[in-house]
């Protein structure tokens, strides 16, 4: 057979934690010496006495250590971590040049691993990164993701980690979902017969299974002071909990020195319940975790390995909160009192949970070896990233940033035609108002004239107009920007395409919706509806309209006729409505209906009462009716009672159909109706709907603000 070149694999290990993941792979590579050459490089805290000189366990496992690099600058603070990375970068090139491996295997998220990845990437050595794509919730995330960016191949542990790597633009074909290699050892060795001997050798002869605690807490480098405080509280809680406790010294990160100081100050090493250790061989440590009553601290071992045995875990602080966990983990994110930690110990100690296989099934190593065999050294070394499609975004210009993003809002009402410039925060920067012309041509002409004037002013006012929003009476198809069918109040306004002419004239996107829907949108963005998932807005003005927000979106209906709340029919006969039907709420409770009744009373000389201020020539309005009722006119009072009952019953119907959590009354008559509507709901609605609140809108200009919100919400999204 033709000579087949062996794959030169270099495994670099920096501390006891990564060795527990790398050892099973090293063993696998070594046992296939016909296919692979293994080189072992040891650096980092393996070589430091305070951390237990852990390189010896590599020798005990019968691996030849090709190179030992002293790369740690002592000091255990932020600066010394950075200096250690620098020192490793100075020493690694010689070694890598001498070994010249085909592939370098790097594990995890430690600063030493970052140095390895930088060196190998710059020296054109292929990198296989283990355990990429995970999220723990500390600076480690930034380092881990940086190594993923430098690595050419990835062996990850969980499905979610794989998805994260793909989302980070890594090439799908170079990611292996292997599971965690330490699980290969875990799942095969945790049924040892001599486990009690191991436990007794570390914790003394009196100890019983499930009746001791394993504690392992590391510093969180981004908040060292807080780490030290949590460590002190944990030790206090453990002392008062009064169970045998095996405590491991923290790792080498910034802050560990101070943590050891706290431990010494509290006399932990002399305390009869505690055994403090710098290092425990992984296979023995596994037995200790497997049979512990509980594990406490913030080591990833608690979140990952302990789950395989169902050992209860208390995770303190934020070092692991991003990780996927089994149900055996209880988080104490805010571990700010001794009491909380003590309570967590009471809850977890001695329980047993189902074994969780999130992080692996025990077959990671065979998968990784198979993956290594498929690496083609002929294919180009240069990584390619798989970027998702992103819409071209325009680079920002400084003026663009300094401008206020704004919308042009148009409100077409029964009487007036109004235009406003509205900024992002819902402030009306400038408002224009004209009587709404009676004919179509005059109306369109006036809209364009007012908009052009507003656009000129916007430049002067430093507002960047992102689009135009139109609120109009009648039924509207918002997808097409067309008014389908108008109300009686606006003539010559059916089947009108508003989008095209406005968009053509102003070169801006245009959104159109009816005034009721716009009022609901205004409440959603700027008013009482902010953050409310389901609510209804009812406008009580000249007419009655409204909008329904369901799951944060407007309901338009199949023929754009949804939320025509003014035309809910509350009586079989009842007064005639402008829509041609009878008994609609609008025919009872709108401004028009009240004005009609006021005129009727006035014609019969039954309106005016003493103390009412009313000129003869003055036009009679709803306000006069309210005034008369307030001054004791019983006829006027009866009319208003009937109006608020009709409105209340209509709203009860709405509650029974869409069951919102809030009703917002808007429009000029809202404050007048609010209390009586609330009362009718509590009398006439079904029990489950009686508690629904009715509030009066605080917005001055719901139609304009709602029209603007269509623009501000959509135009500022990157994607339509």
Residues belonging to the binding site for an N-acyl-D-mannosamine are 475, 487, 515, 564, 567, 586
Give 139's contacts (C-beta < 8 A, 6+ positions apart).
Answer: 221, 222
Q: What's the 3-state SS for 637-660?
A: HHHHHHHHHHHHHHHHHHHHHHCC
Q: Closest Cα partner for 164 from 150, 181, 177?
A: 177
Check 18, 112, 515, 627 and give the catalytic one.
515
Rounded Cα gap, residues 397 and 402, in angstroms:
9
Dihedral angle at the C-alpha atoms of 174, 179, 180, 185, nearest 10 degrees?
A: -130
Binding site, annotated residues: 475, 487, 515, 564, 567, 577, 579, 584, 586
**DSSP characters for 225-290?**
HHHHHHHHHHHHHHHHHT-EEEEEPP-SSTTHHHHHHHHHHTTGGG-TTEEEES---HHHHHHHHH
Let me know if 515 is a catalytic residue: yes
Distance separating alpha carbons of residues 619 and 611, to the nearest angstrom = 18
Q: Is 279 left (phi over 0), alpha (psi -120 to 50) or beta?
A: beta
Residue 582 Cα distances to 486, 567, 646, angstroms:
18, 9, 13
Q: Where are the beta strands (DSSP E) in 102-167?
A: 103-107, 126-130, 153-156
Structure tokens at 575: 């007064």
Instruction: List the one residue out of 216, 219, 211 whose CA is nearest residue 276.
Output: 216
Beta bridge mates, 216: 297
* 59 vs 40: CA distance, rounded Å: 11
Helix (H) or strand (E) holding 400: helix 398-402
State the Cα–Cα distance between residues 566 and 589, nearest whole angstrom. Answer: 9
Which residues are part of the catalytic machinery? 515
């Amino acid at each position: 057979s033709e000579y087949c070149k062996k794959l030169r694999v270099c495994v670099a290990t920096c501390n006891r934690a990564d060795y527990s993941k790398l050892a099973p792979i090293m063993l696998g590579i070594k046992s296939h010496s016909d296919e692979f050459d293994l080189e072992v490089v040891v650096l980092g805290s393996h070589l430091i006495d305070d951390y237990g000189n852990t390189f010896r366990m590599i020798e005990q496992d019968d691996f030849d250590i090709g190179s030992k690099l002293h790369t740690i600058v002592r000091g255990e603070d932020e600066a010394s971590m950075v200096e250690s990375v620098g020192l490793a970068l100075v020493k690694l090139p010689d070694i890598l040049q001498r070994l010249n491996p085909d592939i370098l295997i790097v594990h995890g998220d430690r600063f030493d691993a970052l140095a390895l990845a930088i060196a190998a990437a710059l020296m054109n050595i292929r990198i296989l990164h283990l355990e990429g794509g995970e999220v723990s919730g500390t600076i480690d995330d930034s380092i881990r993701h940086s190594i993923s960016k430098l690595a050419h191949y990835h062996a990850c542990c969980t499905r979610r980690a794989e998805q994260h790597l793909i989302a980070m633009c890594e090439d799908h074909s170079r990611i292996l979902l292997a599971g965690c290699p330490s699980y290969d050892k875990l799942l095969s060795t945790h049924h040892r017969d001599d486990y009690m001997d191991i436990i007794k050798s570390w914790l003394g002869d009196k100890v019983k299974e499930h009746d001791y605690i394993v504690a392992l807490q590391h510093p969180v480098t981004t908040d060292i002071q807080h780490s030290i405080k949590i460590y002190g509280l944990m030790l206090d809680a453990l002392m008062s909990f009064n169970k045998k406790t095996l405590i491991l010294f923290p790792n080498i990160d910034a802050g560990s020195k101070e943590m050891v100081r706290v431990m010494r100050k509290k006399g932990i090493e002399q305390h009869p319940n505690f055994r403090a250790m710098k290092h425990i061989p992984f296979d023995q440590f596994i037995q200790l975790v497997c049979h512990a009553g509980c594990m406490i601290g913030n080591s990833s071992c608690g979140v990952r390995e302990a789950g395989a045995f169902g050992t209860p875990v208390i995770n303190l602080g934020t070092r692991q909160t991003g990780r996927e966990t089994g149900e055996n983990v209880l988080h104490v994110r805010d571990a700010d009192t001794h009491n909380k930690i003590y309570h967590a110990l009471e809850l977890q100690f001695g329980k047993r949970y189902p074994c969780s296989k999130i992080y692996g099934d025990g077959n990671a190593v065979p998968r990784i070896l198979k993956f290594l065999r498929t690496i083609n050294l002929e294919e180009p070394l240069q990584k390619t990233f798989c970027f998702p499609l992103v819409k071209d975004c325009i680079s920002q210009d400084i003026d663009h940033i300094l401008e206020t993003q704004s919308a042009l809002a148009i409100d077409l009402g029964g009487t007036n035609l109004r235009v406003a410039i509205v900024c992002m925060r819902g402030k009306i920067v400038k408002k224009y108002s004209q009587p709404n012309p009676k004919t179509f041509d005059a109306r369109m002409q006036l809209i364009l004239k007012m908009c052009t004037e507003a656009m000129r002013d916007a430049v002067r006012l430093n507002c960047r107009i992102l689009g135009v929003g139109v609120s109009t009476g009648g039924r509207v198809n918002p997808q097409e920007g067309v008014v389908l069918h108008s109300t009686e109040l606006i003539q010559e306004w059916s089947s009108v395409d508003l989008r095209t002419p406005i968009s053509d004239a102003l070169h801006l996107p245009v959104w159109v919706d009816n005034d009721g829907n716009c009022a609901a949108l205004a409440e959603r963005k700027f008013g009482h509806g902010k953050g409310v998932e389901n609510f209804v807005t009812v406008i009580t003005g000249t007419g009655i309209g409204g909008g329904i927000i369901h799951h944060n979106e407007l309901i338009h209906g199949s023929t754009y006729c949804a939320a025509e709340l003014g035309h809910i029919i509350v009586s079989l006969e009842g007064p005639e409505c402008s829509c041609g039907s009878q008994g609609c709420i609008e025919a009872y409770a709108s401004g028009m209906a009240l004005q009609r009744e006021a005129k009727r009373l006035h014609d019969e000389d039954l309106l005016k009462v003493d103390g009412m201020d009313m000129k003869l020539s003055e036009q009679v309005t709803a306000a006069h009716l309210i005034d008369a009722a307030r001054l004791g006119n019983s006829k006027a009072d009866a009319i208003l009672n009937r109006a608020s009952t009709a409105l209340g019953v209509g709203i009860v119907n709405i509650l029974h159909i869409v069951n919102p959590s809030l009703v917002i009354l808007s429009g000029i008559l809202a404050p007048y109706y609010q209390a009586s509507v609330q009362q009718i709901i509590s009398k006439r609605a079904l029990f489950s709907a009686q508690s629904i609140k009715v509030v009066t809108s605080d917005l001055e200009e719901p139609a304009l603000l709602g029209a603007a919100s269509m623009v501000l919400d959509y135009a500022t999204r990157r994607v339509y």
